[in-house]
Chains A and B, each alone.
Chain A
Amino acid sequence: MADVKLNNIKKSYDKTEVLHGIDLDIKHGEFVVLVGASGCGKSTLLRMIAGLEDITSGDLEIAGSQVNNLPPAKRGIAMVFQSYALYPHMNVLKNMSYGLKIAGKGKDFIQEKVVNAAKILHIDHLLDRLPRELSGGQRQRVAIGRAIVRDPNVFLFDEPLSNLDAALRVQTRVEIGKLHQELGATIIYVTHDQVEAMTLGDKIVVMNEGRVEQYGSPLELYQHPTTKYVAGFIGSPQMNFLNGRITSIQSDHVELKLSNGTTTNAYVDASEHSVGDEITLGIRPEHLNEGNGEETALSGEVTLVEQLGEASYIYMRLNDDSEIIVRASGESTTTIGERINICFNAHSAHVFNSEDRALRRLKAGNVKSTAELAHLKAVGSRN
């Protein structure tokens, strides 16, 4: 079993601390995605788990033993780099078998391992090619193959899809997901792409400025972000934020007055707050609709329309100059300069206090447990 435990892991370069005490508990077989804006420390954390960066303080355990001071090869990890890092002067076969050869494994054993891995990744016809004769996607697969043959406890992926073009990225993403099902290995995956994070991860770790903002399943993060940062990071386009105040607190909801004068309800637990407190209302673009059909309506002027076909993103400015984005239907005929009404259901509203922490939502989201999700995924892959 290859659980990975991080206990108050810190990293400083000279006197600048870049990771301020990371605690994570990753169970065997989990696919954990580290996301965050660039410079948040996610790659550094991954490299520390790999053993390529020193751990300044804290405990790192892999499979039950402390590995802080072990070299990368002794940790039972395999890493896939963003730039693939294939040995340019060795062919695919040698690239994949080099680690095993160094480990002193027998020829037949190596051959079998490599051929098996190559079959899984559909690169068995490329074994005698040099990396420079391969396309980006093939190189990426060779890099993954090199990781597979080592039978690691933990796979580490450092933004493996960033160098691929859009179509290939989606395809490889699906393949990595399937691979995880097939191998059942623990995977830690760094990306800045939240679609990759949402689709691949059993758990997502959102990092910000060297801290873990939130750690949970993709839907948990989407439906119950605990901070404004996570709310803004997960979901695309970004969640809209509107300033306001609490005007009344009820047992299952609060009444709010927004800075543009609109009043609305929000179904959150405000027991620790009082009337008059400043708050930020968060509402996702996909929960806003054109028209007046729902509880709360806002109106404003359209400043830009992006038509994607399946949906149109309407950028609009409200009376108090706050900007919001609406994900309207693809058939919307709204044009720039128009004044329109939009509305949303109070159940889909998020509320953040003045410290940017979320108030617990009481009536939103039927988050499935991790076990349920895993079951659904398994069913999905069988079909």
Chain B
Amino acid sequence: MLNRLQLKHHTGKTLMMHAVLITYTLIALFPIVVIIINSFKSRKAIFNDPLSLPTPETFSIVGFEQVLLRSSFDVFFSNSLIVTVLALFFVLLFGAMAAWALTEYKFRGNLLIAILIAMGIMIPIRLGTVSILNLMADLNLVNTLTSLVLVYIAQGLPLAVYILSEFIRQIPKELKEAARCDNVSEYKIFFTIVLPLVRPAMATVAVFTMIPIWNDLWFPLILAPGDETQTITLGVQQFVGQYVTDWNAVLSSLTLAIVPVLILYLIFSRQLIRGLTAGAVK
């Protein structure tokens, strides 16, 4: 009897949990779904009934045509991709290296550096926009992708170092000692033993780092607004006019912009899941 009650209670709890999660998922997905379905509709249909699915009458890919054929969408797209991937790569590399150094080695100034990095999490990088712009102007980097990559590395590093330090600290010290007895150099220990073991954490950091970079409008607008260096979020703005907005084009380019992040996310989330199940090592 008691067991049955408990079971009932348990399923009730599970139902509740799922209800909450499903509601949240619906709310989160709603705008994205609206963007995607409306990108395949004619302008009139978008305004008449924004929530309906495209029908044979209302179906139109005029937005995609506009974006792909009559704008430099490919340039924006590759700019975004280059900036995101490069920044991501360096955030992960330098973040993991810094985390390893800060947790593994005792040196003068260790604590000071750790505190500085922790402060980086709390202070938004946008507060320094003016100085960053001055700096980039002095370095002749305005209107280059390099400036964006550099800024995003700085933006992503603090959190990356913070999260990765926690994970690296959990690696048993015997593993590193065994490697040292095996004459493995410190660099090799880092790349062949530490990195593979914190892969799940790296995936988490990658997701957290990647999305704000891909979606950022602020720094592309300020540091790289030139025709050749616009990122996709900035490029979309050309369809948004003061008086007329080409909604077909806006929605189509946003739809296209979702694709690469989705792919990157799928890659990393698979790592996440594998990392969680592969952790059962004594």
Contact = CB atoms under 8 A, between A and B. Distances in A.
A174 to B, nearest CB: 23
A87 B193 contact: yes
B177 interface: yes
B182 A73 contact: yes
B174 interface: yes
A253 B278 CA distance: 67
A85 B183 contact: no
Nearest to B185: A102
A270 B259 CA distance: 92
A89 B183 contact: no
A10 interface: no
Contacts of B184: 98-99, 102
Interface residues of A, number: 30
B70 interface: no
B281 A73 contact: no
Contacts, number: 74
B282 A139 contact: yes
Interface residues of B, number: 20
Interface in A67-92: 71-74, 77-79, 81-89
Kindly name the residue among B175, B188, B197, B280 whose own CB sees the greatest number of chain A CB atoms within 10 A: B175
B282 A84 contact: yes
Contacts of A131: 281-282
B180 A71 contact: yes
B192 to A, nearest CB: 8
A85 B182 contact: no
A103 interface: yes
Given A132-B280, A139-B282, A85 B177 contact: yes
The B interface is mostly helix, strand or loop, or mixed, namely: helix
B177 A102 contact: no
A139 B282 CA distance: 10
Interface in B157-213: 172, 174-175, 177-185, 188, 193, 196-197
A136 B174 CA distance: 16
Contact of B174 (A85, A132, A146): A85
Nearest to B199: A89
Contacts of B193: 87
Nearest to A77: B181
Interface in A102-130: 102-103
Contact of B183 (A102, A132, A139): A102
B142 to A, nearest CB: 44
Given A79-B177, A85-B175, A102 B182 contact: yes
A50 interface: yes
A141 interface: no
Given A88-B281, A139-B282, A52 B177 contact: yes
A233 to B, nearest CB: 27
Interface in B262-282: 278, 280-282
B172 A83 contact: yes
Contacts of A77: 181
Q: Which 8 A-B pairs have the closest CB atoms?
A: A73-B183, A99-B182, A85-B174, A88-B281, A85-B178, A81-B174, A89-B196, A72-B181
Interface of B: 172, 174-175, 177-185, 188, 193, 196-197, 278, 280-282
Given A73-B182, A102-B182, 18 more contacts: A50-B177, A50-B181, A72-B181, A79-B178, A81-B178, A83-B172, A83-B282, A85-B175, A87-B178, A87-B179, A88-B197, A98-B179, A98-B184, A99-B181, A102-B184, A102-B188, A131-B281, A146-B178
15 contacts: A72-B180, A72-B181, A73-B182, A78-B181, A79-B178, A81-B178, A87-B178, A89-B196, A98-B179, A98-B182, A99-B183, A102-B183, A102-B185, A102-B188, A131-B282
